[in-house]
Structure 1
Amino acid sequence: MESYGEILRKQREEKGYDFEEVSQKTCIPRNYIEALEKEDTDVFSSETYIVGFLKNYCDFLEIDSAKIISLFKAKKTQEQPVPTELLEKSTPKHLVLIIWIAAAAVLIATGLYLYFGLFNVPQKKIEKENEIVEKSRTHQYTFSGKPETRRLYKGDQILIAPKTGKGNIILTVSNTLGNLTLQTPSGSQIIELSEERELDIDGDRQGDIVIYLSDVSSKDGAHGAETRMFLKDPSLVVIDDTEAEQTNVSEIPVQAVVKTTSKQTVILEDTRAYPFTVNVSFRGSCVFRYRVDRQQSVEDYYKSGGIVNVTASNGIRLWMSNINAMKIQIIADTSTYDLEVGRAGQIKVEDIKWVRDNDGKYRLVVVELD
Structure 2
Amino acid sequence: MKLEKQTVGEILREARKEKGLTLEEISRETNIPKRYLEALEEDNFTVFASETYAMGFLSNFAEVLELDKDLLIAQFKRQKKIEEDSPIEALVGNKTSDIKKFIVPAVAGLLTVVIILMTIIIARNRSPKSGLPRKFEFSAEELQKISDVKFKIKDTLLLSKGNRIITIVFEDLDKANNLTLKIDDNPYTVKGSGILTIDSDYDGTNDMNIEILSIKQNSIKINIVPVTPGEILLMANSSEISKIAKSIISEKEWYVGELKKETVIKVFSSASCWIAYKADDKEEKNVYMKENGQEIILFNNILTLYYANAGAIKLSIENKEEALGGGGEVGKCIFYWKKKGKDFALVQALLR
- Which structure ranks higher in relative contact order (CA pairs < 8 Å, sequence separation ≥ 6)? 2
Q: TM-score, normalised to structure 2's length?
A: 0.32
Structure possessing the higher radius of gyration over alpha carbons: 1
**Per residue, is there more strand in 1 or in 2?**
2
TM-score for the superposition, normalised by structure 1: 0.30
